Amino acid sequence: MSLLVLQLPTRTRLHPQARGTAHAPGTRTELAFVLSPDGQTIQSEGSSALSLLPKATSVVAVLAPADVAFHRITCPKAPAARLRAALAGLLEEQVLDEVDQLHLCLAPDARPGEETWVAALDRASLSAELAALEAAGLVVDRVVPGLWPDTQAHGHFHVPADEDKPRTVLTWADAQGVGTWPLQGSLARGLLPEPLADNTLWTADPAAAAPAERWLGQPVQVLGAGARLLASAQSGWNLRQFELAARHRGLALLRDAGKQFLTPAWRPVRLGLIGLVLAHLVGLNAWAWMQRSELQSRRTAIANLLRTTHPQVRAVLDAPLQMARENEQLRASAGRPGDTDLEPLLQAAASVWPEGQAPQVLRYENGRLSLGAPGIGTAEVAQMRATLEPAGWFVETTDQQITLSRAAAGAGAGVAR
């Protein structure tokens, strides 16, 4: 699954060192990016116009560390529809900006009633950046902070953009929060925890590596822009929450599931499914071939039986029908009555006809025997049916008349009975 990570520009602030040519949110013509085929290695990186950015199956936007503030609170027990308002009420006394102008996001492991982190950032600035990306045809799946509170202490030295006089700053992140301080003066040294953990990770942008090592007195790991963006993209945070949540949630879930299915971790599952489908196709074809072979063998056996029983038949077109016709001709030539002839019909009627009630009318036509019976009641007719129908006869009553036929011949009349 390819991954495109974008560096969103630092939010413009009003301070003496701000450039007069600073870009308004969402008006930046170029963005720094890194493209990865698997989220771990770098395929390409650089800076490009929005319309020329490479395509990828997933897009992640990274905010500058100084643009996101983190606050420790107890996660409120509120329904989803009122959770944003509950967070605003808890943070109203902790933030300097108007809380209604901030975009608030909960940590990925937040649980109601437990302590958690809340990210606060300028909503208008992030909204403008996302709108500009969407206008360029880029759907941002996640927005992540450059650094976030973590049990692994991490100090990153970098040079903020959009400043007339570039200066090196330190962004410090640990389990207590995230802060950004200039290296000049004693503020940064005074705010760093004492003592520093032995496993503290020190990194720096290439432009800040030399001053960082002089200030720190030890080597630091130099991270290029692409490596830094990929590292930030591994964050579990997603700042697209509440009013800035990605639209079309159902489609997004399906898209996320599809992207997850295409990741290398799911490759054994994909291969297993492909193998299962191929096995089913082979099995179905083999079963169909066996069924066709068995059907053909039965047709051949019926045709051979027809040729053996009636050698005079030369061309076999419909073996069952031809067999029935030949048997009917043999029966007729032998002078034996068939099932639908008058004699069997009379014998069947006589076997169930009530004693002492002679039929008034007798008519035979096309395998159907009709007998006039004005004096026979419903119970007697029911008795006839109970006796004859199990033997394959059909009994119909209409206008004081009883009609007897073979079930196959009288199937159409059975519907109207």
- Reported as a single tens digit per residue, the pLDDT across 190-222 is 999 988 888 999 999 999 999 999 999 999 999
Name the residue with tokens 């608030």.
Answer: 104
Instruction: Supply 163's token pair.
Output: 């400043």
356: left (phi over 0), alpha (psi -120 to 50) or beta: left
Domain termination site, one of 313, 334, 355: 334
Q: How far apart are CA 145 and CA 245, in angstroms?
A: 16
Q: How far apart are CA 410 and CA 394, in angstroms?
A: 6
Instruction: Supply 36's token pair.
Output: 């990865």
Given this model, what pLDDT does residue 378 score? 82
Q: How far apart are CA 287 and CA 414, in angstroms?
A: 40
Residue ranges of the chain whose pLDDT lies below 70? 13-28, 162-164, 247-253, 255-256, 335, 407-417
186 occurs within a structural domain: no
Given this model, what pLDDT does residue 400 score? 76
Given this model, what pLDDT does residue 24 score? 63
285 occurs within a structural domain: yes
Given this model, what pLDDT does residue 26 score? 58
Given this model, what pLDDT does residue 409 score? 42
Given this model, what pLDDT does residue 318 score? 86
Same domain, 273 and 387: no
Tally of domains within the chain: 3
Given this model, what pLDDT does residue 18 score? 45
The residue range of the domain holding 400 is: 342-416
Q: How far apart are CA 6 and CA 140, in angstroms?
A: 9
Instruction: Supply 240's token pair.
Output: 């697209």
The structure's pTM equals 0.59
Q: How far apart are CA 7 and CA 10, in angstroms?
A: 9
Same domain, 10 and 112: yes
Given this model, what pLDDT does residue 162 score? 66
Indicate the SS3 state at residue 142: strand
Same domain, 24 and 97: yes
